[in-house]
Amino acid sequence: MVRVPPAPDLPTAVDQAVRADIDAAVHLHVEDILARYLAERRAELPELARTFAQAVDTLSDFALRGGKRLRPTFAWWAWRAAGGEPDGPRAHAVLHAVSALELIQTCALVHDDIMDASELRRGHPTVHVRFTEAHRAGDWLGEPERFGMAAAILLGDLALAWADDMFESAALEQDMRSAARAPWQAMRAEMFAGQYLDVLAQAEGDESEERALGVARLKTAAYTVERPLHMGVAFAGAGPRTVEAVRAFGADIGVAFQLRDDLLGMYGDTELTGKPAGDDLREGKRTLLMALGMDFATRAGRGADADFLRAALGDPELRPDTLARVRELLVEVGAVAELERRITTLTSSALAALDKSGLAEPGVTRLRDLAMAATRRDR
């Protein structure tokens, strides 16, 4: 089975002064809690499942390696902005609950990499690739790729199950748990709906802007920003007007985040993104960037260029010169400029919603900073 190094001893790796102040480094506290939780769940596995425990090490390594911890950080600062006290009796229970969002993310990434046949994630082999390689190295029976996918599907499912367990195990007061359960449950369904719409768009060859935005709204915006924010203010007992405002803020920032990710997927540096440039193109992703490119080329009477973009979309043998030409065309027809304009518009409308939310400092400033960081050009 795949063997990976154990997770670092985060309680000693994190500076004690930083650990005393959750606000100063939310992501470090999330990693600390997540590492402890995964280690505890691994230790609970029965003796008959020792081999499976080694597979769980691969899942833990994947969950703890890299990542910005955006989801729990958005949730934490929404709670703080709605009145949560970082040194109060509820703080650690809230932090434990929002850390479970990272296991939702782990499930999504493991499964997404299988569906997209991605080989790299965060600069390292994806989970299904690691198990495929283990099969080959062990000279086991059957097809290595089939085994790799089966193992990764099971581990992704386990991450989702443990996410629910982690959320339920947080020492929250019953009214807090009840208030946050609705966005938690909605987030999971929306994430899977977005994944399905994504693969359906590829299967149908849907080039419409509406479908691309629908996927971005459900697959990314809802579970990355909108619902974590909803959870955070729900923990604090926020009323309907505040919930509506933070959801509007989260939806727009979440879509802008996905549009920026689409641009980085086409033009970004692999060292920064952790994935080869052009992967979305090879995989046939119907992103808004490509939808606009084909539409703008057609409207400009450049049918041959639209056909060139269409032919490159989903080409697994995409050549470097073809990728370079696609990049040039997307700039030439105005698709890149239009996407930048939409990111700016969405960010502005999101910040306007935040300003009307009635939330308090320092949470509002931190949420504003997170929004700008999520949509910047060099992330």
Residue 35 · residue 12 · CB < 8 Å:
no
Answer yes or no: is 376 within a domain: yes
Tell me whether residue 297 is in a domain.
Answer: yes
Q: What pLDDT is recorded for position 47?
A: 80
Statement to judge: residues 153 and 276 lie in one domain: no
Structure confidence at residue 316 (pLDDT) = 87
Q: What is the mean pLDDT of residues 315-322?
A: 92
Spatial neighbors of 150 by CB under 8 A, at least 6 apart, are none
Q: Give domain status of residue 70, yes or no.
A: no
Shared domain check, 207 and 163: no
Q: Are residues 238 and 144 in the same domain?
A: no
Let me know whether 273 and 361 are in one domain: yes
Q: Which H helix or E strand runs over 121?
A: strand 120-121
Average pLDDT of the segment spanning 299-314 = 97
Are 217 and 359 within one domain?
yes
Cβ-Cβ contacts under 8 Å for 302 (sequence gap 6 or more) = 333
Whole-angstrom distance, CA of residue 356 vs CA of residue 378: 29
Residue 75 lies in a domain: no
Look up the CATH number of the domain holding residue 342: 1.10.600.10
- Tracing tokens 């409308």 back to the chain, one arrives at 349
Domain boundary pick from 169, 192, 212? 169
Task: Give me the percent of the chain exceeding a pLDDT of 90.
Answer: 83
Whether residue 91 is contained in a domain is answered as: no
Please tell me whether residues 246 and 348 are part of one structural domain. Answer: yes
Which helix (DSSP H) or strand (DSSP E) does residue 125 occupy?
A: strand 124-125
- Choose the final residue of a domain: 141, 169, 197: 169
Residue 286 main-chain phi, psi, to 5 deg: -85, 70
Question: For 137-158, how does the pLDDT look when each residue is reduced to its tens digit (9 = 90+)?
Answer: 999 999 999 999 999 999 999 9
- Pinpoint the alpha helices (H) of the chain: 10-13, 16-19, 26-44, 50-64, 70-81, 91-99, 101-116, 127-138, 144-169, 174-204, 209-215, 227-235, 240-267, 270-273, 279-283, 288-299, 303-312, 320-332, 335-355, 363-375
Query: With 60 as the cut, is the pLDDT of residue 309 above it?
Result: yes
The pLDDT value given to residue 67: 86
Q: Residues with Cβ < 8 Å from 176, sequence gap 6 or more?
A: 90, 93, 94, 234, 235, 237
- Which comes out higher in pLDDT, residue 51 or 248? 248
Per-residue pLDDT at 71: 97
On whether residue 76 sits in a domain, the answer given is no
Domains in the chain, number? 2
**Model pLDDT for residues 319-337, shown as the tens digit of each residue:** 999 999 999 999 999 999 9
Structure confidence at residue 273 (pLDDT): 67
201 and 343 within one domain: yes
Per-residue pLDDT tens over the stretch 149-191: 999 999 999 999 999 999 999 999 999 999 999 999 999 999 9
Digit-coded pLDDT (tens) for 265-285 = 999 887 766 677 788 899 899
Tens of pLDDT along 343-370?
999 999 999 999 999 999 999 999 999 9
Which of 187-224 are b and which e, b meaning 16 or more Cβ less than 10 Å from the residue's Cβ? bbebbbbbbebbeebbeeebbeeebbbbbbbbbbbbbb
Last residue of a domain, one of 169, 197, 214: 169
Indicate whether 288 and 148 sit together in one domain.
no
Cis amide bond preceding 362, omega within 30: yes
Amino acid at 181: R
Mean pLDDT of the chain: 92
Claim to verify: residue 131 and residue 233 sit in the same structural domain:
no
Tokens linked to 353: 């919603």
Pairing of strands 124-125, 120-121: antiparallel
* Residue 246 and residue 154 share a domain: no
- pTM of the predicted model as reported, rounded to 2 decimal places: 0.92
> Distances from the Cα of 49 to the Cαs of 45, 60, 63, 148, in angstroms?
6, 16, 20, 19
pLDDT value at residue 9: 43
User: Is 71 within the bounds of a domain?
Assistant: no
For residues 16 and 138, membership in a common domain is answered with yes
Domain containing 349 equals: 174-379
| Domain contains 1 | yes
CB 137, CB 2: distance < 8 Å: no
| Same domain assignment for residues 320 and 333 | yes
